[in-house]
Every structure is written in C-alpha cells, then in structure tokens.
Amino acid sequence: MAGSGKFFVGGNWKCNGTKDSISKLVTELNAATLEPDVDVVVAPPFIYIDQVKNSLTDRIEVSAQNVWIGKGGAYTGEISAEQLVDIGCQWVILGHSERRHIIGEDDQFIGKKAAYALSQNVKVIACIGELLEEREAGKTFDVCFKQMKAFADSITNWADVVIAYEPVWAIGTGKVATPEQAQEVHAAVRDWLKTNVSPEVASSIRIIYGGSVNAANCAELAKKEDIDGFLVGGASLKGPDFATIINSVTSKKVAA
C-alpha cells in the first residue's frame, strides 16, 4: 500500500550558500524542465528565504529548516512560524538528525514544534531515522516508531505533513540505504501509522527517503512502492542534479 499523494521532492540546503551562489542556483532551477506531477520544495538558510521567495519560480515552494516551538517573543536567535508565514514560506523541516544529534532537540520538543507550525498553517516535513549503532543493534524500527509517536502525540491533522525517513548513517556519508532497506522501513512506518493513527492517514501520507540521494541512485529508489519521494541534501545545491531527482518520478510510473 503506497502513499496516494503526489511524489514529493525537498531540497535541504542546510548551512550553505551566499547571495551569489543562491542566485546562480535559483537561475538553474528556474530554467529546469520539471515533471508536472511532483511537489517540489527547497529549504534555504533563514537569511536567504526572502531572496529565494522573490526570485524562484512559483512552481517550487519554499521551506525553512527549523522553527520555534511557539509564538514569537523573547527568544533570541529563534524564528517563529508567524514570521515564516509573513514572508510566504509554506513549509518547515523538523526533527532533522542534525537538529536531534548535534543540537540536542528531543522527540517531544520536535513534536510540539510540529503541532505549533501546523496550527499556523505551515506544512511540516517530519524527519525520523536511526543511528548506525541503532541499526546494527537491530533497533531501527524501535527508534523510528518512538520518533513517530512523539509526532503523533502532538499532531492531530496529518494532511499537511510529509514524513522523511533518513537513516542517520546515510546522511552526507555517501552510504545509501539499499532500495530494499529503505522500502522495508517505509512500509513499517506506514504500517505503524495504520495501527496508531488511522488507515486513512497511512494510505494518504507521503513517506520520502533521505540520505545521500543523488542523480545516479534516485531512479532505483523511486521504483519502490512505499518511497513517495526524496529529501535531498548535497545534490540539491546543484540545479541539474536536483532536477534529475525530481524527474525520477517517471521511474515510479514505470514501476506502477
């Protein structure tokens, strides 16, 4: 049972870019020929969101890489969901492994962030995934389900949520989960949603894969039934490569 939503590809630019390099990337993206039936979102650093929003084709939506847990106020260094809405930013990435494991955000904190963002009509790319030692200890499902539970405890409406499964051992390492490994986790997460949220959410939600996705490996991954798209890191900084990944939706159609 695959997700029934449109194929979804997000580009997480992380802490990369300058006004000049982003201007060049936006020019490449504006010129790219993209398959129509794919939702495409890019996530620039906060300080460039306005530049991207004002120069990028409307075909591609804009996401933040993080957001504060509640309404704005005396929170030095934070950005609120209200501010994202104000500049026309429609999405936010939450629970990315770099926020969890480098910055130390915990499951509950991330879940509450997701609920608040959704309450302000900011859509959420909710990230989950296990560390290498967790995979080697056979705990992949336990970890992913625990992270999913924290989202499920806070989220009531899943219509504006995309789940990104990103095995931490595959992010930026060049190690990619095999299509079979990714499919196995995607199917298990969908099954978890069916049992713990609802069969409707399980069948409609998009579960995308992240972790060293590139122009060379995306087609094989896209063929898998429960892989509904990608969250792309490094390769999203290269316009032509990102376009190739977006257009891998054609492999999905062939497989279907």
225 in Cβ contact with 189 (< 8 Å): no
Q: Say if 206 falls within a structural domain.
A: yes
Residue 103 exposure: Cα atoms within 13 Å on the Cβ side:
13
- The set of catalytic residues is 96, 166
Residue 38 lies in a domain: yes
Total number of residues shown for the chain: 256
How far apart (Å, rounded) are the C-alpha atoms in residues 229 and 231? 7
Examine residue 105 and state whether it is found in any structural domain, yes or no: yes
Express each pLDDT in 73-101 by its tens digit: 999 999 999 999 999 999 999 999 999 99
In a domain, 243, yes or no: yes
Residue 59 φ/ψ, nearest 5 degrees: -60, -25
Alpha helices in the chain (DSSP H): 19-31, 49-55, 81-86, 97, 107-119, 132-136, 140-154, 179-196, 199-204, 218-222, 239-246, 249-255
d(C-alpha 211, C-alpha 213), whole Å: 6
Confidence of residue 225 (pLDDT cuts 50, 70, 90): very high
Rounded CA gap, 57 and 36, in Å?
Answer: 13
Compute the Cα dihedral for 1, 221, 95, 56 and give only its sign. negative
Domain-located, residue 1: no
Question: Considering its fold, how many domains does the chain have in total?
Answer: 1
List 9's β-bridge partners, or say none. Answer: 40, 230
- 114 class by beta-carbon count within 10 Å (0-12 exposed, 13-18 middle, 19+ buried): buried
Q: Is the pLDDT of residue 169 over 70?
A: yes
State which residues form the domain around 49. Answer: 7-255
Question: Is residue 2 included in any domain, yes or no?
Answer: no
pLDDT digits (tens, 9 = 90+) for 173-200: 888 899 999 999 999 999 999 999 999 9
Q: Evaluate whether residue 156 is within a structural domain.
A: yes
Collapsing DSSP to helix, strand or coil, 92 comes out as: strand
15-60 per-position pLDDT tens digit: 999 999 999 999 999 999 999 999 999 999 999 999 999 999 999 9
- By CB atoms closer than 10 A (0-12, 13-18, 19+), residue 52 is buried
How many whole angstroms separate alpha carbon 70 and alpha carbon 80?
Answer: 7
- Give the three-class secondary structure for 253: helix
CA distance 45 to 17: 8
Query: What CATH number has the domain bearing residue 136?
Result: 3.20.20.70
pTM across the whole model: 0.96
Q: Is 221 part of a structural domain of the chain?
A: yes
Distance CA 128, CA 189 (A): 10
